[in-house]
């Protein structure tokens, strides 16, 4: 289905980093009938309330950007919450959309759905070919269930329920809490404060050797809008930039941007996580989509947002 500025779009999770970026893109392209609800207005963990909301509003498209997310420590300490809340949100929105007559749905996931020691770069067909990374398996299992749920509902009920899998995302509205954040915002905060306090060293978790693919969240939002107007054959698509760099590389990149030199000290008591996570994006490219990869411009916007919000 092609959507226009009158199409009714329910964006779940509009307050988060990914959801807020999609909301900005929808407004930028003139979509005027966007339905948003905060957690107080609609608890997506409540099946009955979610179902009633969908039946009442009957959106043309549901975008699931709502999720419990976090870095390695948050995932390790809260596995029960990560698997329960993500499964519950997805189940309520996917099944609720089906029984409410919603024909189109996008589930947004993550590259951590792939096996820990997955062949690189990771193709969609490598899903479920090996054990998951233990530190975030609860989140990964929930997302895999969501992908399969969308696939089965689409085939059984002739629906257009699809999934998009990005790599690590960063940008405005990111989480800078060092206890729960992903590695990139954590590095920004640590390096910023080291410069501010004239510190000489930077402590990095693990060995600094794992490689990560990073995508600017606004670029991912553009991809969501691109693919929502295309008939996708596959159950899900990888959306990335096609390149990855080591944690050490990212630390040096940020130090260069902030004009500060710090001695890196590796805390090897902390886990490295998956050694390498690079997405194969050939399937997405076949639809004419091209990745954007301007690290300099994206860092500038991200850091400006960080400073504006005065993260202590």
pLDDT band, very low/low/confident/very high, at 309 (cuts 50, 70, 90): confident
User: Left, alpha or beta for 45 (phi > 0: left; psi -120 to 50: alpha)?
Assistant: alpha
**Residues facing residue 11 across a β-bridge:** 63
What are the extents of the domains in the chain?
9-173+214-243+277-293
Is the pLDDT confidence value at 312 over 70? Answer: no
The pLDDT, as a whole number, for residue 146 is 98
| Segment 125-166, tens digit of pLDDT | 999 999 999 989 999 999 999 999 999 999 999 999 999 999
Is the pLDDT confidence value at 209 over 80? Answer: yes
Average pLDDT over residues 80-84: 97
Per CATH, the number for 9-173+214-243+277-293 is 3.40.50.720
Contact present, 65 and 21 (Cβ < 8 Å):
no
**Percent of the chain, pLDDT > 70?**
99
The pLDDT, as a whole number, for residue 71 is 80
Is the pLDDT confidence value at 72 over 90? Answer: no
Average pLDDT over residues 56-80: 92
pLDDT band, very low/low/confident/very high, at 311 (cuts 50, 70, 90): low
The pLDDT, as a whole number, for residue 1 is 66
Contacts by residues 197-204 (CB-CB < 8 Å, ≥ 24 positions apart): 199/262, 200/262, 200/263, 201/262, 201/263, 201/264, 201/265, 202/251, 202/255, 202/262, 202/263, 202/264, 202/265, 203/265, 203/266, 203/267, 204/247, 204/248, 204/251, 204/264, 204/265, 204/266, 204/267
The pLDDT, as a whole number, for residue 30 is 97
- Angle at the Cα of 305 from the Cα atoms of 18 and 219, rounded to 5 degrees: 40
Kindly report the average pLDDT of the chain as a whole number: 95
Instruction: Reply yes or no on whether 139 is catalytic.
Output: yes
| Segment 283-301, tens digit of pLDDT | 999 999 999 878 999 999 9
| Segment 219-240, tens digit of pLDDT | 999 999 999 999 999 999 999 9
Average pLDDT over residues 161-181: 93
**Residues facing residue 170 across a β-bridge:** 216
pLDDT band, very low/low/confident/very high, at 273 (cuts 50, 70, 90): confident
Is the pLDDT confidence value at 2 over 90? Answer: no
pTM beyond 0.85, yes or no: yes
Contact present, 162 and 229 (Cβ < 8 Å):
no
Catalytic residue among 139, 153, 184, 250: 139
Is the pLDDT confidence value at 105 over 60? Answer: yes
């Amino acid at each position: 289905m092609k959507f226009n500025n009158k199409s009714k779009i329910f964006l779940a999770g509009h307050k988060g980093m990914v959801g807020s970026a999609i909301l900005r893109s929808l407004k930028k392209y003139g979509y005027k009938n966007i339905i948003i609800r905060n957690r107080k207005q609609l608890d997506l963990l409540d099946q009955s309330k979610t179902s009633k909301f969908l039946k009442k509003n009957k959106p043309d498209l549901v975008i699931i950007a709502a999720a419990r997310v976090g870095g390695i420590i948050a995932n390790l300490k809260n596995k029960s919450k990560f698997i329960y809340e993500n499964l519950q949100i997805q189940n309520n929105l996917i099944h609720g959309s089906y029984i409410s007559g919603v024909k189109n749905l996008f589930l947004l996931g993550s590259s951590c759905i792939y096996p820990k020691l997955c062949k690189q770069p990771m193709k969609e067909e490598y899903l479920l070919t090996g054990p998951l990374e233990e530190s975030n398996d609860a989140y990964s299992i929930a997302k895999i269930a969501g992908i399969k749920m969308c696939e089965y509902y689409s085939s059984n009920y002739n629906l257009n329920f699809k999934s998009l899998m990005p790599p690590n995302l960063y940008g405005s509205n990111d989480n800078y809490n060092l206890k729960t954040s992903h590695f990139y915002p954590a590095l920004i905060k640590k390096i910023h404060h080291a410069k501010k306090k004239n510190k000489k060293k930077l402590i990095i978790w693990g060995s600094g050797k794992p490689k990560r693919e990073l995508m600017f969240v606004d670029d991912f939002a553009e991809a969501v809008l691109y693919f929502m107007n295309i008939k996708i054959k596959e159950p899900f698509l990888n959306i990335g930039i096609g390149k990855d760099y080591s944690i050490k590389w990212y630390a040096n990149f940020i130090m260069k941007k902030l004009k500060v030199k710090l001695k890196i000290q590796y805390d090897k008591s902390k886990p490295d996580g998956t050694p390498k996570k690079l997405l194969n994006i050939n399937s997405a490219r076949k639809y004419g989509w091209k990745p954007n990869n301007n690290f300099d411009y994206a860092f500038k916007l991200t850091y400006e947002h960080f400073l504006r919000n005065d993260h202590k």
